[in-house]
Amino acid sequence: MKDILIMGIESSCDETSISIVKNGREVLSNCINSQIKIHEEYGGVVPEIASRCHTEVINRIMKESLKTANVCLNDIDAIAVTQGPGLVGALLVGVSYAKGLSYVTKKPLVAVNHIEGHIAGNYLTHKDLKPPFICLIISGGHTHLVNVKSYNDFEILGKTRDDAVGEAFDKVARVVGLGYPGGPKVDNLAKEGEPNIKLPITHFDNLDFSFSGIKTAVINLNHKTPNINKADLCASFQLAVTTMLESNVRKAIKEYHSDKIVIAGGVSRNSFIRKSFDDLAKDLNIKVYYPEPILCTDNAAMIAASGYYNYINGERAKLNLNAIPNLKIGE
C-alpha cells in the first residue's frame, strides 16, 4: 500500500508548529517555534502578540519542516490543520495558511480538533496502541476524560467544570513566584518538598472535575502564610490534583472494563503524575500510556496523526473552513 504523508499545522496558542507524519504513526519532522520567551515577561500568553508571531514565522517553519522530512510539497497527500479549540486570532493564522497552501497545491484540506490531536500524540509514541481506550487529557486549556471508541468516535465521560489542570498549575506557579510557564516549575520545586499541607479535594457523583477550589486554597494559604514552605505547597498541590484525577480514572476504568489508560496533554509531562499513574496501573493491572515529552505539549505531529485518521475516514474541509475557538471534541 502507498504511504500517506500528512502535513500537520498547529497554531492554537503560543506554539507555531508544522510537521510531516507518515501513515499516521511515523514522525518525519516536527518543527516547533515556541513563543514562551516572548510571553514570559507578561506572565502569560498575550493573544494579539501570539497571532502576530505565528504570522511572522509560519512560512519559515513550513519550509523547515519539509526540509527536515526530506520531502517536497508535491509528496504530501493532505494538509491537516487545527480548527479549534484555542485562541481565535492564533487559530486563524494556521487555518488561513493551510487554506492558502491547499488552494495553491490542490492538496486536500482536513480539519483537526486540537484535543483529538493530543490523544493522537500517543499513536506516534506507541505504535501498538489502538482504540478503544479511556483517555485522560490534561492540558493548559482542557481537562477531559474521554472514551475513545474508535479513531474518529469520541464520547466525553467527564470534564472540568471550571479551570483546566494546567491553568491551575500556571496560576499556582505565578502566586508562589515561579513565573510562566508554571507547570514545569511547580513539578521541579515539588521534588524538594513534602506533601504535608492539607488542601481541598473536590469530587462529583459523575466523572467531572473541578480545580478552582484547590487553586484558590493555594492562593489564600500563600497569601496568609508568608513564610510557608513553597516546595511543600507545590508537592501538596500536585498530590491533591493527582488524587482528583486518579479517582475519576479508577471509576471510568471500572465502569468501562478497560484494560488501559492513555494520558495526554501538556500536564502529562509532570513527573509526579506519571509516577502516580504508573502505580495506579500496577494496582489495577492495566497498561498506562503517555506520549514522549515533546509530543505532550502543543505540536503539529499530533495534529498530522489525528488528521491522518480523519483523512482515511474520508473527511475533507472546504476552503471556507473557519476557526472555531470553542470547538468541542467529537464535533
- Site of interaction with ligand KG4 (CB under 6 A): 13, 139-141, 166, 169-170, 181-184, 187, 265-267, 269-270, 297-298
Q: CA triplet 317, 323, 324: central angle to 5 degrees?
A: 105
Total residues interacting with Zn ion, rule: CB under 5 A = 2
Pairing of strands 143-150, 153-159: antiparallel
Question: CB-based contacts of 74: which residues, under 8 Å, 6+ apart?
Answer: 105
Q: Are the beta carbons of 241 and 215 closer than 8 angstroms?
A: no
Which is closer to ligand KG4, CB of 94 or CB of 265?
265
Nearest CA among 149, 205, 171, 184 for reference residue 270: 184
Return the range that interacts with Zn ion (CB under 5 A); candidates 186-194, 234-242, 295-303, 310-318: 295-303
169 touches, from Zn ion, ligand KG4, none (C-beta below 5 to 8 Å by class) = ligand KG4
Cell of 117: 490531536
Amino acid at 164: A
To Zn ion, the closest distance from the beta carbon of 87 in angstroms equals 11
To ligand KG4, the closest distance from the beta carbon of 104 in angstroms equals 29
Compute the distance between CA of residue 228 and CA of residue 289 in angstroms, rounded to an integer.
36
Q: Are the beta carbons of 246 and 276 closer than 8 angstroms?
A: yes
Which is closer to ligand KG4, CB of 66 or CB of 267?
267
Which is closer to ligand KG4, CB of 195 or CB of 266?
266
Our finding on whether 167 is near Zn ion (CB under 5 A) is: no
Nearest CA among 48, 83, 219, 211 for reference residue 144: 211
184 touches, from ligand KG4, Zn ion, none (C-beta below 5 to 8 Å by class) = ligand KG4
Which is closer to ligand KG4, CB of 99 or CB of 185?
185
Which is closer to ligand KG4, CB of 187 or CB of 208?
187
To ligand KG4, the closest distance from the beta carbon of 327 in angstroms equals 12
Cell of 241: 490534583
Compute the distance between CA of residue 202 and CA of residue 270 in angstroms, rounded to an integer.
21
Our finding on whether 298 is near Zn ion (CB under 5 A) is: yes
Q: For binding to Zn ion (CB under 5 A), which residues are involved? A: 139, 298
